[in-house]
């Protein structure tokens, strides 16, 4: 995995709000829709094909496309200005046991959908809700490799505190980068300081393994609730507090 897998996406992107959050319904989403996009540079209007839902038949091309930042790429047909066009996406990988719902900038912690709950009631599927593309890529990297994302969030939380102490820098966000079983290491990419510089920190795999024990002991019921849930930095902070109070 490249060291530059996660970027600061907040500059020069188009945020396409296909649906207002209050009207969100997973079952109403078509696989592809056409939408008019206005170029942020030359103001030209053009039609863009937006893929709202991807599933197995399109894998692994879609996976590669999301991880390499091609998926949300948009180019103006008039002035050739290139940017990212972010829009909601339901990423289904039932074979590997997970579904990820990406809703740009959502503040929700959970998103329930009756139709999906019914359809996959008998299957052991992890359902995750993410609010930015880095989180989406991180979840794909973890869950596709059958790595426990709750344990990895706890491990990241521990490593983040080490970075803040030893490097004396404020950490703003962080993502799982790589796990190397031969070297017995796990790496994270953080964004630190006022400039949000990328900062890589590698630690021993035991940090993840210990977190996995904690998840199995205290948070094994988390995935039994209905709906797409947020397993992120805030979840890890809360979970760590719960664990400490036991």
39 near Zn ion (CB under 5 A): yes
Spatial CB neighbours of 52, under 8 Å, sequence gap ≥ 6: 18, 29, 30, 31, 32, 33, 87, 88, 89, 90
Please answer whether residues 98 and 70 qualify as being in contact, where contact means their C-beta atoms are separated by less than 8 angstroms: no
Residue 38 contacts Zn ion per CB under 5 A: no
Helix axes 133-144, 149-166, angle to 10 degrees: 120
Q: Are 47 and 66 in contact (CB under 8 A)?
A: no
* Distance in Å, CB of 85 to Zn ion, minimum: 13
Of 70-78, 119-127, 145-153, 174-182, which part binds Zn ion (CB under 5 A)? 70-78
Q: Which is nearer to Zn ion, 14 or 52 (CB)?
A: 14
Least separation in angstroms between CB 43 and Zn ion? 7
Closer residue to Zn ion (CB): 39 or 159:
39
Q: Which of 80, 62, 79 is nearest to 71 (CA)?
A: 62
Q: Tokens 């056409």 map to which residue?
A: 34
**Site track for Zn ion across 73-102, x = CB under 5 A:** ---x-xx-x---------------------
DSSP-assigned letters across all residues of 13-67: -EE---S-GGG--GGG--SEEEEEEE-TTT--EEEEEEE-EE-GGGTTHHHHHHH
Among 1, 15, 33, 42, the residue binding Zn ion under the rule CB under 5 A is 42
Decide: is 214 part of the binding site for Zn ion (CB under 5 A): no
Give the pair of three-digit tokens for residue 105.
């900038």
Residue number with CB closer to Zn ion (29 or 48): 48
39 versus 150: smaller Cβ distance to Zn ion = 39
Candidates 22-30, 34-42, 67-75, 88-96; binding stretch for Zn ion (CB under 5 A): 34-42
Size of the site for Zn ion (CB under 5 A): 8
CB 115 within 8 A of CB 26: yes
Q: How far is the CB of 57 from Zn ion (least distance, A)?
A: 33
- Of residues 153-212, which lie at the interface with Zn ion (CB under 5 A)? none
Chain contacts with Zn ion (rule: CB under 5 A)? 39, 41-42, 44, 76, 78-79, 81
């Amino acid at each position: 995995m490249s060291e530059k897998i996660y970027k600061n996406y907040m500059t020069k992107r188009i945020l396409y709000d296909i649906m207002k959050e209050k009207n969100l319904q997973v079952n109403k989403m078509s696989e592809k829709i056409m939408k008019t996009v206005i170029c942020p540079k030359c103001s030209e209007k053009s039609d863009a094909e937006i893929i709202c839902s991807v599933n197995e038949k399109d894998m692994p091309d879609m996976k590669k496309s999301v991880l390499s930042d091609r998926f949300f790429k948009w180019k103006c047909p008039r002035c050739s200005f290139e940017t990212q066009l972010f829009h909601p996406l339901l990423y289904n990988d039932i074979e590997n046991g997970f579904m990820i719902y990406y809703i740009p900038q959502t503040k929700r912690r959970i998103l329930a959908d009756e139709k999906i709950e019914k359809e996959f009631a008998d299957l052991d599927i992890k359902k995750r809700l993410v609010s930015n593309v880095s989180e989406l890529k991180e979840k794909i990297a973890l869950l596709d490799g059958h790595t426990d994302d709750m344990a990895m969030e706890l491990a990241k939380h521990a490593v983040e505190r080490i970075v803040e102490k030893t490097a004396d820098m404020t950490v703003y966000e962080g993502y799982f980068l790589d796990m190397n079983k031969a070297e017995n290491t796990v790496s994270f990419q953080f964004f630190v300081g006022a400039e949000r510089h990328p900062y890589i920190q590698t630690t021993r795999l035991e940090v993840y393994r210990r977190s996995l024990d904690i998840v199995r002991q205290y948070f094994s019921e988390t995935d039994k609730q209905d709906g797409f849930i947020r397993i992120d930095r805030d979840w890890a902070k809360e979970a760590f507090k719960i664990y400490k109070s036991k």
